[in-house]
Amino acid sequence: MGNICRSPLAEGVVRFQAERAGLATVLVVDSAGTHGYHEGEHPDQRARKVAANRGYDLSGMRARRVKEQDFGRFDLILAMDRVNLAYLRRSCPETYESKLGLFLSYAQGLAMDEVPDPYYGGPEGFERVLDLCEAAGRGLVDTLLPKPDFDNASGRP
């Protein structure tokens, strides 16, 4: 929503995971809020702290709001919850609606599809959000990795 808690954590995680998977040069990862409450600000101090504790660097990030150009620029635009997804759907040109989805839909084995907003809670909420971002990030990066082309006769790549 404001681009200082959940989405910067997700951006940091996906960038890190993409780099480890060898996709850093072909994958553009960015985060933005649906509202301009915090434009230009660094991610929340609590988000930066839990991220740093796990080896993610959010220091270069600044909050920004989703722009109309983003819908054409990016292949996927993933929201953290249904409220933000609804906002994106209202703002998105019809041509690009298929690019919209929920970030947590990429996490395997979870019984939830929304990343909770930790802003009004304590550090444990940020830890939980980071756990969820790591799970969804792994799933997202896995879907982007090239799949081996198996020869039907031999079963080998």
Give the per-residue pLDDT at 38.
Answer: 97
Over residues 26-53, the mean pLDDT reads 97
pLDDT digits (tens, 9 = 90+) for 87-114: 999 999 999 999 999 999 999 999 999 9
Domain definitions of the chain by residue range: 6-144
In three-state form (DSSP H/G/I as H, E/B as E, the rest C), the secondary structure along 59-114 is CCCCCCECCHHHHHHCCCEEECCHHHHHHHHHHCCHHHHHHEEEHHHHCCCCCCCC
pLDDT of 157 over the 70 cut: no
Q: Is the pTM of this model over 0.85?
A: yes
For the chain, percent of residues with pLDDT exceeding 70: 94
3-state secondary structure of 3: coil
Q: 92 or 152: whose pLDDT is higher?
A: 92
Beta-bridge mates of residue 102: 79
Q: What pLDDT digit, counting tens, does each position of 116-125 carry? A: 999 999 999 9
Q: Is the pLDDT reported for residue 51 higher than 90? A: yes
71 has a pLDDT exceeding 70: yes
Residue 156 pLDDT: 54
Architecture of domain 6-144 in this structure: 3-Layer(aba) Sandwich (3.40)
